[in-house]
Structures are given as C-alpha cells and as structure tokens.
C-alpha cells in the first residue's frame, strides 16, 4: 500500500539575515506567549536563529533583517525578493542602513582601518544601505530593535491579506498617553521624541532620559523645528548634529538635519563632527 505524503497548507514564513546584530530576529523569538500559536499558524521555512532545517521557497512572507554591505548580499537580496510573495524589512539596519550606515558619511575605508587590524581581508561595499534601495519592499517595520507587538501585528496582517495597523505618529504621543512630564520642556533635556516614530511606549522619557531616535523618523517628521527647539533649550549645534547621527543616520529626514547641523556647527564654533567614527570631537 502506498501512503500519500502528509500535506501542510500553512503559509510559509522565512527570516533572513543581512548585516545586523540579530536583535530584531530575537524579537520574534521573544514573542514567548504567542510563539507556539504562531508556529501552529505558519510553517517556519527558514529561520537559522531557531532551526537548521530549511524548506525550499517560494515563501509567503519573508522577514528581512539587516542592511546591504557586501556585493554578495546585494545579489542575495534579489533571490529573497524573487522567492517571496511579501517581503517585510525589520529594524533600523534593514530600513535605514543601521549604525553601520555611519560609514556612508565617511571616506571609503575609514571605518575599516579604524576597527580591523587587517582591513585588506575585507570585501565590502563602500556603503550600508537599506533593503528598499535594492529591491521592492512591501512593508518597513522600524526600531532598534523592533517592538514584538508591532511585529505580530505585521505578521497577522500579511497572513490575513490586509495592511498592518501601525501608528505613524511620534513618541511624544505615547509620552503624553502614559502621563510622563515632558523632559524637553520641563528640564531642557535633548529629546528626539517629537520626530521619532512611536512603538516603544515612550520608554526612555519614562525613565528620565531623552529619546535618541531608535525607531527612526515618524511620518512628517519636522526635524528643523525640533532643532530650533533644541537650540532654544540649550543644546549646542554640535550636539544637535550628533543626536541625528546614530542608528537611523541614513534615514533621509535624520540625514538632512545632520548635514545642516554639522555644517552650522563647523561654521559657528569650528567644531567638526568627525566622519570617520561617527562621534564628535
């Protein structure tokens, strides 16, 4: 008697890593209470943080973590795209080039020479760029790392064939929602909350420190208005430039404000924001 193979009609989910620290992938594993339910609803087809086995594509949903930093990855992402019905990028690396995107502002090789004893062994691109600069992306989920609740909403939405419902407003709204006194207004603490996308629940202001923008620009981020406010509350231009020059430095809104403030700082105080290590001197 021939036994027919079992069929599995669950949609397939693949998780791909590019240049990244794995923190956003771990946010998926961090969905402790929901992970078994999710595993019952989808087949994990490729997820090396969780399993060595891989099911061949095509895949219903691909989650992509990390930026494009090597010629090989610039080709590999095209294969991922070709094999994915929906491609969702997760985290600051994948959506804005990540902290490694600081090298986009520096001379070619400046970072490699500062970090590695033998940079001649490296074969990398001169830039770190978001996935959307290479292939079409169906949705970008921001954060460093991403918020697991937002990740589950995105997954459920794509599995159900609808658009994700993710807030585009700023951290300030979350800050007000939880009743935190504004640090920028009350203490003059530098805070990127007004231009940063919500998702963390205004974690940093709730613990007494300003937001440093790890969720990237919110919709309609008015960075020049915030820069004016920061100057008026005592932050010098050099620090304003530095604030916009971290995890999401290559996101256009933050990049433009960094360039403006870095030029102003150099012209008015002679302080140069270094382009070879991303920190000031």
Task: Give, in order, the Cα–Cα distances in Å from 25 to each of 52, 120, 258.
Answer: 15, 30, 29
For residues 94 and 247, give the distance between their C-alpha atoms in angstroms, rounded to a whole number.
11
Residues between 132 and 161 with contacts to ligand SF4, criterion CB under 6 A: 144-145
- Determine the interface stretch with ligand SF4 among 4-12, 108-116, 154-162, 201-209 (rule: CB under 6 A): 201-209
Tokens of 233: 């509350």
Tokens of 161: 């064939």
- State which residue, 13 or 146, has the beta carbon closest to ligand SF4: 146
Among 14, 45, 141, 211, binds ligand SF4 (CB under 6 A): 211
Residues between 160 and 199 with contacts to ligand SF4, criterion CB under 6 A: 171-172, 175, 180, 182-184, 191, 193-194, 196
Among 10, 21, 224, 231, binds ligand SF4 (CB under 6 A): 21
Angle, alpha carbons 24-81-159 (nearest 5°): 65
- Determine the interface stretch with ligand SF4 among 15-23, 68-76, 114-122, 155-163 (rule: CB under 6 A): 15-23
SS (H, E, C) 156-182: HHHHHCCCCCCCCCEHHHHHHHCCCCC
For residues 160 and 86, give the distance between their C-alpha atoms in angstroms, rounded to a whole number.
12
Q: Is 101 one of the binding residues for ligand SF4 (CB under 6 A)?
A: no
Specify whether the CB–CB gap between 167 and 154 falls below 8 A: no
Stated as kind and residue range, the H or E segment containing 89 is strand 84-90
- State which residue, 55 or 185, has the beta carbon closest to ligand SF4: 185
- β-pair type (84-90, 59-65): parallel
What binding mask, one character per residue, do residues 49-68 give for ligand SF4 by CB under 6 A, x or -?
Answer: ----------------x---
CB of residue 3 vs ligand SF4: minimum separation in angstroms? 43
- State which residue, 98 or 278, has the beta carbon closest to ligand SF4: 98
Residues that bind ligand SF4 (CB under 6 A): 20-21, 23-24, 65, 91-93, 98, 144-145, 171-172, 175, 180, 182-184, 191, 193-194, 196, 200, 202-205, 211-215
């Amino acid at each position: 008697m021939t036994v027919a193979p079992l069929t599995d009609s669950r949609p397939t989910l693949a998780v791909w890593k590019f240049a990244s620290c794995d923190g956003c992938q771990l946010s998926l594993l961090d969905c402790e209470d929901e992970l078994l339910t999710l595993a019952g609803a989808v087949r994990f087809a490729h997820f090396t943080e969780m399993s060595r086995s891989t099911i061949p594509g095509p895949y219903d949903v691909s989650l992509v973590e990390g930026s494009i930093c090597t010629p090989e990855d610039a080709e590999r992402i095209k294969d991922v795209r070709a094999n994915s019905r929906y491609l969702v990028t997760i985290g600051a690396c994948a959506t804005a080039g990540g902290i490694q995107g600081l090298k986009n502002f520096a001379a070619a090789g400046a970072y490699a020479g500062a970090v590695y004893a033998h940079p001649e062994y490296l074969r990398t691109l001169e830039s770190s760029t978001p996935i959307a600069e290479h292939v079409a992306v169906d949705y970008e989920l921001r954060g460093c790392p991403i918020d697991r609740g937002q990740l589950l909403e995105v997954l459920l939405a794509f599995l159900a064939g609808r658009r994700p419902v993710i807030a585009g407003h700023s951290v300030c709204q979350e800050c007000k929602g939880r009743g935190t006194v504004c640090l920028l207004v009350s203490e003059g603490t530098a805070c990127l909350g007004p231009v940063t996308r919500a998702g963390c629940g205004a974690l940093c202001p709730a613990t007494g420190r300003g937001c440093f923008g790890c969720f990237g620009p919110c919709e309609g981020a008015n960075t020049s208005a915030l820069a004016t406010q920061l100057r008026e509350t005592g932050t010098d231009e050099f620090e304003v430039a530095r604030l916009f020059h971290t995890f999401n430095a290559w996101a256009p809104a933050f990049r433009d404000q960094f360039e403006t403030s870095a030029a102003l700082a150099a012209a008015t105080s002679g302080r140069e924001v270094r382009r070879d290590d991303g920190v000031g001197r």
